[in-house]
Amino acid sequence: METNRDIFMQGYRHGIPIGLGYFAVAFSLGIAARDYGFNAAQGFLASLITYASAGQYMGFALYATNTTLAELVLLTFIINARYILMGFALNQRMPEGTPLRTRLLVGSCITDEIFGITIARPGVPTPFYTFGALIAAVPLWALGTALGISMGNILPARIVSALSVALFGMFIAVIIPPARKDRAVLGAVAVSFALSYASVRLPLIADLSQGNRTILLTVIISAAFAVLFPRKAEAEIEGGAADAD
Q: What's the CA angle centered on 112, arms 194 and 88, to 5 degrees?
A: 100
Instruction: Write down how long the chain is.
Output: 245
**Neighbour tally for 235: CB within 10 Å:** 10
- Residue 2 neighbours by CB under 8 Å, 6+ apart: 10
Between residues 9 and 218, the one the model is more confident about: 9
Q: Provide the pLDDT for residue 165.
A: 65
Q: What is the 3-state secondary structure (H, E, C) of the chain?
A: CCCHHHHHHHHHHHHHHHHHHHHHHHHHHHHHHHHCCCCHHHHHHHHHHHCCHHHHHHHHHHHHCCCCHHHHHHHHHHHCCHHHHHHHHHHHHCCCCCCHHHHHHHHHCCCHHHHHHHHHCCCCCCHHHHHHHHHHHHHHHHHHHHHHHHHCCCCCHHHHHHHCCHHHHHHHHHHHHHHHHCHHHHHHHHHHHHHHHHHCCCCCHHHCCHHHHHHHHHHHHHHHHHHHCCCCCHHHHHHHHHHHC
23-47 pLDDT, tens digit per residue, is 888 888 888 888 888 999 999 999 9
Q: What is the DSSP letter of 205?
A: G
> Whole-prediction pTM value?
0.69
Say what the pLDDT of residue 133 is: 95
Contacts for 156 with CB less than 8 Å, ≥ 6 apart: none
Q: φ and ψ at 156, to 5 degrees?
A: -65, 150
CA dihedral over 99, 102, 108, 109, signed as positive or negative: negative
Percent of all residues in the chain with a pLDDT value above 70, rounded to a whole number? 85
pLDDT in tens, 93-102: 888 888 999 9
Extents of the domains making up the chain: 4-174, 182-245
Query: CA of 203: how far to CAs of 140, 206, 210, 230, in Å?
Result: 39, 6, 14, 32
pLDDT digits (tens, 9 = 90+) for 166-223: 656 666 766 777 778 888 888 888 998 899 889 888 888 888 776 677 778 878 888 8
- Helices then strands, counting H and E runs in the chain, come out as 13, 0
Give the pLDDT score at 242.
41
Residue 65 has a CB neighbour count (10 Å cut-off) of 8
> Which pLDDT does position 13 carry in this prediction?
95
Residue 51's closest CA among 21, 31, 11, 6? 21
* Predicted pLDDT at 170: 60
What pLDDT is recorded for position 95? 84
The yes-or-no verdict on residue 234 having pLDDT over 60 is: no
